[in-house]
Amino acid sequence: MTIRTQKVRLYPNHHLAKVLDNLCDYRRYCWNEGLATWNDMYDLYTLDSNNPRPNTYSIRNELVANKADWQYTLSARTLQLAVADLGKAWQNFFDKSQPDWGKPTFKSKNAARQGFKTDRAKIIAGKLRLDKPRGTKGCYNIMLSKHADLSGVLKVVSIYRENGKYWASFSLEVELDAKPRTGNNSAVDVNVGHLTYTAGIVNTLPKRLRQLYQRIKFYQKQLAHKCVMNGNKATKSGRYVAMRAKLQRDYRKVANVQHDIMQKFTTKLVNDYDTIVIENLAVKAMQMSHVASKGLQRSMFGYFRQILTYKCDWYGKKLILADRQYPSTQRCSKCGYTKSGNDKITLQGNSTHQTKHSEYVCYSCGAILDRDENAVANLLALI
């Protein structure tokens, strides 16, 4: 059995939208109260070791014991899961290898994204039914997107509001069968703007994305100008709020386009190939300037590796990560000669030998190859 996550758009009516908003606010309240209680209990523990050290269980009992009357009108699972996530956040704080490492902070009501979790929701007749507090009348049935594939056993639902729209992330336990063997292998060379593999090139920066980035740049400049001219009063104006909503809308469109490209490409890879080789890149070390950082972030190297990893695991395909020191770009796939020193290819090519960025010229056998195709051939040699 495998846990698969499916994100679906929600379409609540006016009454259910208020219910979701209240649960989002309650989740934030529980998180902040739990974090404040955790900090207080830890301060007491440092002063006197006889006091109990805070943990998830003790914080949850403290919040439940001090419940106000209005809290009983909201789902109890919201509080339980908020405290559980707070405990995980503290565990991650002591593990610096985590990608989002840092001390847990208080949640702001002004954050663009608000949400909550529940593990007692059900899918009935194509609608999402939330768990109701005791004594509450009526059904909490919310319409879902028509294209949602929610086959499997529902475990946890994460619901969030962003830019006035509601989304749900369903964690489903499903049984996936291995893909049939094809006998073919492939390698992928990742680049800023495109991915090169055995069968061709996938453009990760199409014209639609470039247009969206231009609009985002325009909105950001306008919002910054309003803040400079009007100070703190700028964020309270109707025009500022409307333009910020447009900016958030375009960010969502960018994410949808990027995710669609990566999901379709990785699905094609696991369908057509048995073994796939990719580079194990140190993306943070590659961010030499703000320009390079922007291009690397837009190319989504980390997201590509993440989804390809779990899809290979799902469908019984083999994924090979090339060592970071493996010279896939500097090595000649014809004779095996590896460039070094001033002969190496850089982002601008090679100034010593006047070669272009996109070409590989071997100084041993004289072969002239496409840089990306040469890298793919070298990665395939690892199989």
List the Cα angle 107/111/116 in 5-degree steps.
Answer: 65
331 with 311, same domain?
no
Tell me what pLDDT residue 117 has. Answer: 94
**Unique residue bearing structure tokens 């291995």:** 178
First CA to last CA distance, the chain: 29
Both tokens assigned to 232: 């703190």
Between CA 275 and CA 317 the distance in angstroms is 6
357: confidence class by pLDDT, cuts 50, 70, 90: confident
- SS3 assignment, position 90: helix
- Same domain flag for 68 and 155: yes
- What sign for the dihedral angle of Cα 182, 185, 190, 196? negative
At residue 162, what are phi and psi to the nearest 5 degrees? -145, 120
| Range with lowest mean pLDDT among 213-227, 279-293, 314-328, 352-366 | 279-293
| Residue 348 vs residue 65, higher pLDDT | 65
Query: For tokens 């998830």, what's the residue?
Result: 56
Residues 169 and 26 in one domain: yes
DSSP state of 346: B
H or E element: which one contains 296?
A: helix 290-299
**In the prediction, which pLDDT does 232 show?**
79
pLDDT higher than 90, residue 368: no
Residue 181 covered by a domain: no
The total domain count for the chain is 3
**Total residue count of the chain as it appears in this document:** 383
pLDDT at 50: 83
Residue 219 is assigned to a structural domain of this protein: yes
Same domain, 125 and 241: no
pLDDT at 51 over 90: no
Does residue 170 share a domain with residue 22?
yes
Mean pLDDT of 179-208: 90
Q: How far does Cα 346 stand from its chain's mean position?
A: 30
1 vs 246: which has the higher pLDDT? 246
Annotate 21-35 with DSSP letters as a single string.
Answer: HHHHHHHHHHHHHHH
pLDDT digits (tens, 9 = 90+) for 208-232: 999 999 999 999 999 999 888 888 7
Q: What pLDDT digit, counting tens, does each position of 277-297 carry?
A: 998 876 666 655 555 567 667
Cβ pair 192, 296 in contact under 8 A: yes
**Predicted confidence band of residue 371 (pLDDT cuts 50, 70, 90):** confident
**CA angle 77-81-82, nearest 5°?**
115
User: Per the domain annotation, does 183 fall within a domain?
Assistant: no
For residue 332, count other CB atoms closer than 10 A to its CB: 22
Query: Higher pLDDT residue, 133 or 316?
Result: 316
- Measured CA to CA, the distance from residue 281 to residue 294 in angstroms comes to 16
- The token duo for 274 is 């048995």
pLDDT-derived band at 66 (thresholds 50, 70, 90) equals very high
Q: Which of 23-37, 138-152, 225-239, 248-262 is predicted with the least confidence, judged by mean pLDDT? A: 138-152
- The answer to whether 252 and 113 have CB atoms below 8 angstroms apart is no
The stretch 303-321 carries a mean pLDDT of 90
Q: How far apart are CA 202 and CA 192, in angstroms?
A: 11
Alpha carbon dihedral 132, 138, 144, 148, in 10-degree steps, equals 60
Could you tell me if 298 and 336 lie in one domain?
no
What 3-state DSSP class applies to 56? Answer: helix
Q: What tokens appear for 349 in the block? A: 């090519």
Whether residue 15 is found in the same domain as residue 161: yes
Across all residues in the chain, what is the average pLDDT? 86
Last residue of a domain, one of 317, 345, 362: 317
Give the residue from 43, 64, 63, 41 showing the smallest Cα distance to 52.
41
For residue 348 the two structure tokens come to 């601008």
Chain-centroid distance, C-alpha 73: 33
Question: Would 184 be classed as within a structural domain?
Answer: no
Is residue 158 a part of any domain in this protein? Answer: yes
Specify whether 214 is located in the same domain as 165: no
User: What's the DSSP call for residue 94?
Assistant: T
- Domain-ending residue, one of 293, 317, 341: 317
Is residue 182 one of the residues assigned to a domain?
no
Residue 126 CA to residue 124 CA, distance in Å, equals: 5
Do 290 and 212 lie in a common domain? yes
Between 92 and 296, residue with greater pLDDT: 92
Residue-wise pLDDT for 16-43, tens only, equals 999 999 999 999 999 999 999 999 999 8
pLDDT digit string (tens) for 165-192? 899 999 988 887 888 898 999 999 888 8
Residue 110, in any domain of the structure: yes
Together in a domain, 197 and 168: no
Which DSSP helix (H) or strand (E) runs through 208? helix 207-230
Q: Do 287 and 335 belong together in one domain?
A: no
Residue 180 located in a structural domain: no
Whether residues 312 and 209 fall in one domain: yes
Which helix (H) or strand (E) segment holds residue 45: the answer is: helix 14-47
For residues 43 and 132, the model is more confident at 43
Among 113, 147, 174, residue at a domain's last position: 174
302 pLDDT band, cuts 50/70/90, is confident
Q: What is the DSSP letter of 234?
A: G
Residue 87 has pLDDT above 90, yes or no: yes
Cβ(165)–Cβ(9) below 8 Å: yes
Domain that holds residue 25: 2-174
